[in-house]
């Protein structure tokens, strides 16, 4: 295959796999996947091969290990430090593409500064369908595409070594457009993804799935049957856990699924847990749902509510790199008025960042609900 064709195939595989990952990561499914909430590395690679075989119709299914490595790292959602890019011996750590092509890892899932086309896609799509106005728009995309370019940057590593590699940098004139990516992500989490009603829906769907877990089994590609909560052990079974499960449970006439079906019917009639309060957190290191629930129950009237009636949700909203880290601190800019041979990448001045945006990456809060049955008892 020639280079252009391989590049197109690579992009299509990235789109297919990322779409599937997005459906897993942005719903209550993320809470029932694996014990630590993520996919195994082997499953992730299998998902890439699965997408490539679907795309190639088995004709070009034998994609190289190098391409799989590149796709895997391009889609990684783990936040990186610059020191992760090189081994202890000083060698380039990413085997999929050479050091001079390192900027390619900034495109789809940018783990260093969190500005990538994956965010461009879902910010525009979700804000449009939810009719939520955000700073980031199609004009922002066009401006960023017009004023981005790969440049060599030099980073000092903790061990004293210097790392020179290529990053996607932006003209300083589009600094507001770059900042709007993180701002818009925070706004959508506040008004949509982490809205208190959405979290209540997620909680009830999760309870329905937990209730139905023992009675839902899926056949894997090894011909074995896997319980819903164990489907992460086999990719073939895992890929069958889509939204159709909800409809299947809701319409089931099995006695074993009556409890789960009732929960889903309550959702249809909007019988939801009631939000009774939200508290902002300054330090969440020692804060857990159980501790909060126990403390609230100590202050409540035990004749009306039990500890199980309280539902605690710890909500974390940020600009893409966690609550403490601001993405703009990691983005490189260049002076677009300088000569092409004299372009020097640099990070934004902290005083300017403070003037334009909050220095904090996000916020955390505790949302306190009571169950619908508790509301009925109190009435």
Pairing of strands 362-370, 274-281: antiparallel
3 state SS of 29 = helix
pLDDT tier for residue 85 given thresholds of 50, 70 and 90:
low
- Number of Cβ atoms within 10 Å of the Cβ of 363: 17
The two three-digit tokens of residue 40, written as one number: 């195994």
The predicted-structure confidence for 212-222, as pLDDT tens digits, reads as follows 999 999 998 88
| 252-272 pLDDT tens trace | 999 999 999 999 999 999 999
- Compute the distance between CA of residue 185 and CA of residue 320 in angstroms, rounded to an integer: 7
Q: Beta 310-318 vs 362-370: how paired, if at all?
A: antiparallel
Residue in this structure with the two tokens 């893409």, named with its chain if needed? 320
Top pLDDT among 51 and 338 is at 338
Q: For 284-303, how does the pLDDT look when each residue is reduced to its tens digit (9 = 90+)?
A: 667 788 888 888 888 877 77
Q: Residue 1 and residue 325: Cα distance in Å, rounded?
A: 42
Asked if residue 252 lies in contact with residue 209, where contact means CB atoms within 8 angstroms, the answer is no
pLDDT in tens, 8-33: 666 666 666 665 565 555 444 444 44
Predicted TM-score of the model (pTM): 0.82
Residues 6+ apart with CB under 8 A from 113: 106, 321, 327, 328, 330, 331, 332
Beta bridge partners of 350: none
Q: Rounded to whole angstroms, how far apart are CA atoms 284 and 364?
A: 8
> Number of helices and strands (H, E) in the chain?
13, 9
Outline where the chain has alpha helix (H): 3-25, 41-56, 65-74, 117-130, 138-146, 175-188, 196-212, 235-238, 244-250, 258-268, 289-299, 350-356, 372-378
Does residue 191 have a pLDDT over 90?
A: yes
Task: Give the residue extent of every domain in the chain.
Answer: 1-75
Residue labelled with tokens 């009631």: 274
């Amino acid at each position: 295959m020639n280079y252009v064709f391989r590049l197109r195939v690579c992009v299509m595989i990235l789109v297919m796999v990322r779409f599937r990952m997005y459906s897993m990561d942005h719903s209550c499914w993320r809470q029932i996947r694996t014990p630590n909430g993520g996919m195994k590395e082997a499953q992730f690679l299998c998902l890439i091969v699965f997408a490539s075989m679907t795309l190639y119709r088995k004709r070009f299914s034998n994609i190289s290990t190098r391409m799989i490595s590149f796709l895997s790292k391009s889609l990684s959602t783990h936040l990186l430090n610059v020191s992760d890019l090189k081994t202890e011996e000083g060698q380039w750590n990413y085997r999929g593409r050479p050091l001079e092509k390192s900027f390619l890892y900034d495109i789809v899932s940018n783990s260093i500064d969190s500005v990538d086309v994956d965010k461009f896609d879902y910010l525009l799509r979700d804000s449009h369908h939810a009719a939520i106005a955000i700073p980031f728009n199609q004009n922002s995309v066009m401006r960023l595409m017009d004023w981005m370019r790969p440049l060599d940057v030099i980073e000092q590593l903790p061990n004293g070594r210097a790392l020179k590699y290529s990053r996607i940098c932006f003209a300083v004139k589009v600094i507001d457009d770059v900042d709007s990516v993180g701002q818009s992500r925070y706004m959508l989490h506040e008004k949509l993804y982490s809205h208190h009603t959405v979290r209540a829906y997620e909680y009830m769907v999760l309870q329905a799935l937990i209730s139905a877990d023992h009675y839902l089994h899926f056949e894997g590609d090894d011909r074995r049957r896997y319980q819903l909560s164990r489907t992460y052990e086999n990719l073939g079974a895992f890929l069958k856990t889509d939204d159709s499960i909800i409809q299947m449970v809701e319409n089931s006439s099995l006695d074993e699924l009556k409890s789960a079906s009732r929960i889903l019917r309550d959702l249809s009639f909007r019988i939801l847990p009631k939000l009774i309060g939200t508290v902002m957190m300054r330090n969440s290191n020692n804060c857990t749902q159980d501790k909060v629930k126990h403390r609230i129950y100590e202050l409540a009237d035990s004749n009306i509510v039990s500890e199980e009636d309280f539902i605690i949700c710890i909500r974390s909203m940020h600009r893409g790199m966690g609550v403490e880290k601001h993405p703009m601190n990691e983005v490189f800019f260049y002076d677009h008025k300088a000569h092409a041979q004299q372009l020097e990448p640099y990070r934004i001045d902290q005083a300017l960042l403070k003037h334009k945006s909050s220095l904090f990456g996000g916020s955390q809060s505790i949302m306190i609900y009571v169950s619908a049955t508790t509301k009925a008892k109190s009435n």
